[in-house]
Amino acid sequence: MNTQTADSAFIRACRRQQVSSVPVWYMRQAGRSLPEYRATRAGTAMLDATSNPDLITEITLQPVRRYGVDAAILFSDIVVPLRAAGLDIDIRPGIGPVVGKPVRDEGDVARLRTLDPGDVAFVSRAVEMLTAELGGIPLIGFAGGPFTLACYLVDGGPSKTFDRTRSLMYGSPALWESLLGRLADITITFLQAQVLAGASALQLFDSWAGILSPEDYRRSVLPFSSRIFAALAAEGVPAIHFGVGTGELLGLLGEAGADVVGVDWRVPLDEAVHRVAPGKALQGNLDPAVLLAPWPVIEERARQVLERGRTAESHIFNLGHGVLPETDPDVLARLTDLVHAIPAGSVG
């Protein structure tokens, strides 16, 4: 475990310990909203960039330098461990993950082999370089949640509703369970490699879990997410669990075993508090689209998020989903300063 970051505001807030101001970081803080990211990435395919320790390190550090956020998040992608395990999967610019041969039967699942830590040595190397560089600033490692990974594998690419995935889940429970079991194993190895190399916290992005009913989530996904969090608990780093449109699932996201539940913008934090069992911190939840509005609107909305966050046992400020590519970096810098300038527990 990385002991240098134990007293940072971010880690303290994850553990529901007192902080002087609410820590802040942004999902997708590294990425197309930053001109330096676009320059670094020019001419390099996404999955080539995420395989190169020097590029991973540089891109991860860019938002930390620019904004002074309380945590860095590893520049990688949810498909990286799948590709490292031999799967034919790519990220198409402007589209997202696309799979060569979607998973439809036992034969397809059987081809999903386990991940060896050596398969992601480039990630371990980047995490080592980053933690040396970051010192007391925590690095958040991450992976895709089992449902979200299955969505891309079964549907074969992005979709709004992932109908094929849901129908396979309903109609072929045994196949579904063997698929999610393999994905959970890959995810555990991937996250353990990041913690072993020095990551201070982890986030599981089950971004699309919100398209499931609570009953189906509990039956078909929760056992696998729980297995992931249980396996990682031994590593002693705080874990965050996030999905989009998960208003009805917030309690279950916590129940899976995370220390922190990420909330999107649809549920106010003072309502989320009632949906999550005691003993959890909350993360969120400014609508990323608010950042495209004039500053007074942003400030008012950010203060409202902080005020509502005070009803939680602990709060980490973030957006309700990733930074939109058209966001002005100066706005994120100003927002970070605003959050830092307000003493925790005193939103005026």
- Residues lying near ligand CP3 in the complex (CB under 6 A) are found at 27-32, 41, 46, 73, 75, 77-78, 91, 93-97, 142, 148, 158, 205, 207, 322
Q: Please indicate whether residue 125 is annotated as part of the active site.
A: no
Paired tokens of 207: 């971004």
Rounded least distance, CB 105 to ligand CP3, Å: 24
Whether residue 41 lies in the annotated active site: yes
Residue 66 annotated in active site:
no
Give whichever of 77 and 185 is closer to ligand CP3, judged by the CB atom. 77
| Cβ pair 117, 84 in contact under 8 A | no
Contact 9, 308 (CB under 8 A): no
Q: Decide if 308 is catalytic.
A: no
Residue nearest to ligand CP3 (CB): 207
State the DSSP string of 287-314.
-GGGGGS-HHHHHHHHHHHHHHHTTSSS
Shortest separation between residue 32's beta carbon and ligand CP3, angstroms: 5
Nearer to ligand CP3, 91 or 153 (CB): 91
Q: What is the token pair recorded at 120? A: 């992601």
Q: Of 77, 185, 206, 259, which is the active-site residue?
A: 77
Rank residues 93 and 278 by Cβ distance to ligand CP3 and give the closer one: 93
Q: Catalytic residue among 41, 83, 166, 275, which?
A: 41
**In whole angstroms, how close is the CB of 106 to ligand CP3 at the nearest point?**
26
Least distance (Å) from ligand CP3 to the CB of residue 271? 22
Q: In this complex, which beta carbon is closest to ligand CP3, that of residue 32 or of residue 310?
A: 32
* Direct distance between the N- and C-terminal alpha carbons of the chain, in angstroms, rounded to an integer: 37
CB-nearer residue toward ligand CP3: 91 or 306: 91
Give the whole-angstrom CA distance, residue 213 versus residue 170.
12
Catalytic residue among 28, 66, 266, 334: 28
- Whether residue 337 lies in the annotated active site: no
For residues 216 and 309, what is the distance between their CA atoms, to the nearest angstrom?
29
Q: In whole angstroms, what is the distance from residue 22 CA to residue 13 CA?
A: 8
The residue written with tokens 């925590």 in the block is 138
Q: Which residue has the tokens 């396996």?
A: 231
What is the per-residue burial (b if ≥16 Cβ within 10 Å, else e) of 255-290? bbbbbbbbbbbebbbeebbebbeeebbbbbbbbbeb
DSSP H or E segment with residue 102: none
Among 67, 152, 166, 206, the one annotated catalytic: 152
> CB 228 → ligand CP3: shortest distance, Å?
15
- Which residues participate in catalysis according to the annotation? 28, 32, 41, 77, 152
